[in-house]
Homo-oligomer: A and B are copies of this chain.
Amino acid sequence: MSTPLTAGLIVIGNEVLSGRTQDANIRFLAQGLGALGLPLREVRIIPDVAPTIIATVNEMRASHAHVFTTGGIGPTHDDITSECIAAAFGVPWEPHPEAMRMLGAHYSEGAFNTARRRMATMPRGATLIENDVSPAPGFTIGNVHVMAGVPRIMQSMFRTLAPRLPRGQPVVSSSVHAMPMLEGAIAEGLGTIQADFPMLDLGSYPFERDGRYGVTLVAKGVDTAAVAAAIARVRGLIISAGFTPIDGEPTEGRS
């Protein structure tokens, strides 16, 4: 058994809290981290407020093996993530030589203005996270990985970062669904199956499709044989309740 590894994510941005923007990064990172065996266990969405960012980073980096942040690393006045990370770690926030070189090479002399130089200003000791979309890199310091909020840039940064991250035991999952069916029809039997497979997470997710209701049951864990055995039990439970089990998730399902 490898040491359990968990990840935390901090989404920094007033625009998500105001409902202006639909977050598109949480699910991408949840799936990407799960595939590495570094499961996401907590997400916090916080505003562009320095004391909040600093306190949240310090709390999260103490409680998770790895912490990821998205947002707030551009050139404008509301992009304060980088200087807050420096404050959280108690290190100077200063020009990063390699980032200065990269940005300097991208912009013409006049265009590499004060605001853009801020994007090359980082906590001392930061390691760059390059991306192939924008010239401005993210960075890693300690166990904190600081990425852009724009999804395409963030995704490119995560692809750069992934090979540098430790890998845990990948979680495997298997699922079955039935529609029509309500959770209450199988809830007691499911509880029994969960009790028989304490090493797994057995999730029950109701969904609605065109006014009809169904339920998806998902077994997750690192023990592939146990996952298969639990799902076989769930299939039997659905049949005994008088419904028809269908392998996998419903198409376009959401709970």
How far apart are A240's CB and chain B's nearest CB, in angstroms?
14
Complex A-B: 19 CB contacts under 8 Å: A18-B30, A19-B28, A19-B34, A19-B40, A21-B255, A22-B27, A42-B46, A44-B44, A44-B45, A74-B204, A74-B206, A76-B204, A77-B202, A78-B203, A113-B187, A115-B183, A115-B187, A116-B187, A149-B255
Give this chain's copy count: 2
* A153, B203: Cα distance in complex, Å: 19
* A249, B22: Cα distance in complex, Å: 14
How far apart are A8's CB and chain B's nearest CB, in angstroms?
10
Closest 6 interchain pairs by CB?
Answer: A115-B187, A19-B30, A19-B31, A77-B191, A43-B45, A76-B204
* A156, B208: Cα distance in complex, Å: 14
Contact between A194 and B77, CB atoms less than 8 A apart:
yes
Where the two chains meet, the residues of A that have a C-beta atom closer than 8 Å to any C-beta of B are 11, 14-24, 26-32, 34, 39-48, 74-79, 107, 111, 113-116, 118-119, 149-152, 171, 173, 183-185, 187-188, 190-191, 194-195, 201-208, 218, 220, 249, 254-255
Task: Name A's interface SS.
Answer: mixed
* Set B23, B46, B75: member contacting A183, Cβ < 8 A: B75
Contact between B17 and A187, CB atoms less than 8 A apart:
no
How far apart are A81's CB and chain B's nearest CB, in angstroms?
14
Give the interface centre of A30, A44, A185 by most chain B CB atoms within 10 Å. A30
Residue of B with least CB distance to A22 = B27
* A253, B114: Cα distance in complex, Å: 27
* Set B42, B74, B107, B195: member contacting A44, Cβ < 8 A: B42
Contact between A40 and B24, CB atoms less than 8 A apart:
no
Contact between A184 and B254, CB atoms less than 8 A apart:
no
* A118, B113: Cα distance in complex, Å: 61
Residue of B with least CB distance to A187 = B115
Note all chain B residues with C-beta closer than 8 A to A194.
77-78
